[in-house]
Amino acid sequence: MTTVREATFDVLRACGMVDIFSNPGSTEVPFLVDLPSDFRFRLALHEGSVVGMATGFAIATERPAFVLLHTTAGLGNAVGALATARVNRAPLVVVVGQQDRRHLALEPFLTGHLTALAGPYPVWTSEPALPQDVPSAIRRACHEAAYGRGPAIVIVPRDDWDDPVADDLGLAAPLEVRRPPAIDHASVAEIASLLADSRSPAIVAGAGADTPATWTALTELVERLGCPVWQEAFGARAGFPQDHPLFAGQLPAGRVRLRETLAPYDVVLVIGTGAFRQYPFEPGPLVRSGAIVVVVADEAAAVHRSSATLGVVADPSLVCGRLVELVSRRETSRHTSRTIPPVPEGPFSARHVFAALAEQLPEDAVLVEETPSTRPLLHQYVPARAPRGFVSAAMGGLGFALPAAAGLRLGDPTRPVVAVVGDGSSMYGIQALWSAAKYGCGVLYLVLSNGGYAVMDLLAARQGGKPAWPGFDVDLRAMAEALGCPARLITDETTLRATFDEVLPGLADRREPLVLDVRVTPEEHFEP
The pLDDT tens digits for 491-525 are 999 999 999 999 999 999 999 999 999 999 887 65
CA distance 79 to 94: 11
CA distance 7 to 132: 9
Residue-level pLDDT at 527: 60
Amino acid sitting at position 114: L
Spatial neighbors of 205 by CB under 8 A, at least 6 apart, are 218, 229, 230, 231, 232, 235, 238, 239, 240, 271, 272, 273
Residue-level pLDDT at 181: 72
Residue-level pLDDT at 492: 95
Helix axes 134-148, 4-14, angle to 10 degrees: 30
What domains are defined for the chain?
2-165 (3.40.50.970), 185-326 (3.40.50.1220), 350-519 (3.40.50.970)
CA distance 367 to 408: 10
478 membership: H or E segment, kind and range: helix 476-482
Ranges of the chain whose pLDDT falls below 70: 168-169, 332-338, 524-528
Q: Are 271 and 209 in contact (CB under 8 A)?
A: yes
Prediction pTM value: 0.91
Q: Are 73 and 117 in contact (CB under 8 A)?
A: no
Residue-level pLDDT at 472: 80
Residue-level pLDDT at 202: 97
Residue-level pLDDT at 6: 96
Residue-level pLDDT at 178: 75
Degrees, nearest 5: CA angle 151-152-153: 115
Residue-level pLDDT at 189: 95
Spatial neighbors of 240 by CB under 8 A, at least 6 apart, are 203, 205, 209, 215, 218, 219, 222, 229, 231, 247
Write out the DSSP string of 442-466. --EEEEEE-SS-HHHHHHHHHHTS-
Residue-level pLDDT at 333: 56
71: left (phi over 0), alpha (psi -120 to 50) or beta: left
With CA atoms as reference, report the closest residue to 229 among 240, 220, 237: 240
Amino acid sitting at position 34: D
